[in-house]
Amino acid sequence: MQFHLDGFYPGDPRFSDPQDRVVAPPLKRPLPQQVDVLIVGCGPAGLNLAAQLSQFGNISVAIVDQKDDRLLVGQADGIACRTIEMFQAYGFADQIIQEAYQVNEAAFWKPDADKPNQITRSGKVQDVADDLSEMPHLIINQARVHDEFLKVMLQSPIKLEPHYQRKLLGLEVSDSGEEYPVTVKLERMVNFSQYSQEIETVKAKYVVGCDGARSAVRAAIGQELVGDPLNQAWGVMDVLLNTDFPDIRLKSLIHSNNEGNMLIIPREGGYMVRIYVELDKLKENERVARDQMTADVLIAAANRILAPYTIDVKQVAWWSVYEIGQRITTAFDDSSAERAARVFLAGDACHTHSPKAGQGLNTSVMDTWNLGWKLAHVLTGRAAPAILATYSAERREYGQALIDFDRKFSAMFSAKPKSAENPDGVDPAEFQRYFQLFGEYTAGVSIQYRPSIMVGNGEHQTLASGLTVGKRFHSAPVVRQGDAKPVQLGHCHTANGAYRVYAFAGSAEPMSASCGVKALCEFLANDANSPLLKYTPAGADADSVIDVRAIFQQHHQAVETGTLHPVLAPHKGKLGLRDYEKVFCVDQRPESSGGGKDIYAMRGIDKQQGCIVIVRPDQYVAEVLPLDDYAGLARFFDGVLI
């Protein structure tokens, strides 16, 4: 899509008239007196958590924010492949992909050896490696992502909307064993009289602080951000411009000789770009002199770095100055040896870092993607509160790894290029290699959670070597048997809080007497130890807690619908309608038609034996088991469900 041609306007670009993009704020209404979960902060972490919890019609949720209304212009606008995979679970990935700028290549620029005061291109690299993800790396206004989360919330069973203009005043957790142990006091910021103050009190089972780097929730539970700032300042601006710089529509990383460094990120719409400009390094404990900074200063600095090229800025849509600092909290919750967690932190409330690796929003939403379904399982009686301890354990380790990565990446980006005058500088070729080496990390797909009650030990990993236990389920193309539609298998993961059990068949004929998938279905349908029988609530759909799907190696036309086991064709809903979308086959279409991609070969699945792959509700592989390991399957679910 192309837009912003006549200037920058926030909102949905599908509306021709910018006035039609204005969304009315929610009606002002009092907060409920008690809720299951109170979320503080309407940033990406808070809205993602609200969107996830809103899918459960029997969980009461409130989300508050100090702002007056929804975000219109965002700062965290780089969306990693892994995050788009998560958006697919909510059903709005296609909308974001269509609207966003897609990062396909990155260009690297360094000082010209013959003319050191000018820059020259040192190379271009593919931004996302082949088969890293079925999803692209995107750039889009953070506010548009917020809008999609708000739609999910509003369209949910509980029709959830934020409560704006609420300032957190205090938070206390009772140890008396009451049902709603967290008491939260908030000021409703609609009365500006110095003589009166409107206070609201909310009792909650759980509170989640998604309220940013200056988190009031974090302060209330006695946690603090720890770490060392790098004492570097950068300016950033979104601009509409004309230029003779040839890579203006590519992600460009630029090192100049003496004028500092710059990062160019093309924006959605075809005309706007974001420019990060390095400012002078700060002295210890020094702050950026914001009152002395203007957009014109940043534009002039950009032109000095870009020489011999120039930019002619026509409009500045937004600009700011920030200082880099990498910090993380000691823990992501308020648990102690005496008491389980009742208050959690997520997003910038528990980790801060520079934006150049594009991990801020992406890490924040993955925090609450990890936490949301766990809270939902506890609140709906599916799981014991003990599973909530895995949130801090899993996410803090990754948060620390992010801090370490960001510190090195930022230092390399900010360093002067290596030269005869500066032998200790960064070799531009080394920086380019580092960028490529950590492509999996910046795409968000490198996370691997350690073994726990929710992650197996990988004893049978060789049965599916490309679906690593503890890492996100790596999707691949298949053909859906019922309607012959080519699909991505990973897109079965919707944000409904269900586990997925994928039964990859061995070499036997589908549904024959020797078919391992048929035998597994018999166990699931009839055995007293079947987790499907034990953990599906009475009256609920058969796939509401554990969603069983099968993949066969044969052509989809060789599998007859009438032969499928009832576990793979359950009757669901108020009318008891049959689900025809549980069975898939290897994509055996010719390459000329877009086929020829064998999921067994792509993901290292044993074609002779097949296997079971258990996937958590947040799309991470929990365990790989032999197809006939019914005891192992039962044991896993006995550990995580009640």
CB 224 within 8 A of CB 330: yes
CB within 8 Å of 87: residues ≥ 6 apart: 79, 93, 96, 145, 148
d(CA 206, CA 110): 51
Active site residue 355: yes
d(CA 36, CA 61): 6
Determine which one of 206, 271, 276, 630 is catalytic.
276
Q: Is 566 helix (H, G, I), strand (E, B) or coil?
A: helix
Active site residue 77: yes
Active site residue 164: no
Under DSSP, the state recorded for 347 is G
d(CA 534, CA 525): 11
Give residue 594's region: left, alpha or beta (phi > 0; psi -120 to 50). left
E-only strand ranges, 246-347: 251-255, 261-266, 272-278, 311-325, 327-329, 343-345
d(CA 143, CA 23): 12
CB 463 within 8 A of CB 624: yes
CB within 8 Å of 464: residues ≥ 6 apart: 504, 603, 604, 605, 606, 611, 613, 624
| H/E segment holding residue 207 | strand 199-209
Determine which one of 70, 82, 218, 267 is catalytic.
267
Amino acid identity of 214?
R
Active site residue 267: yes
Determine which one of 355, 428, 477, 626 is catalytic.
355
3-class secondary structure per residue, 393-423 = HHHHHHHHHHHHHHHHHHHHHHCCECCCCCC
The tally of CA atoms less than 13 A away on the side-chain side of residue 544 is 19
Q: What are phi and psi of 352, to 5 degrees?
A: -130, 150
d(CA 488, CA 468): 18
Determine which one of 65, 77, 247, 334 is catalytic.
77
Beta bridge partners of 550: 503, 583
d(CA 481, CA 582): 8
Cα angle vertex 151, ends 145, 155, to 5°?
A: 155
CB 434 within 8 A of CB 72: no
Amino acid identity of 343?
V
- Indicate which residues carry an active-site annotation: 77, 267, 276, 355
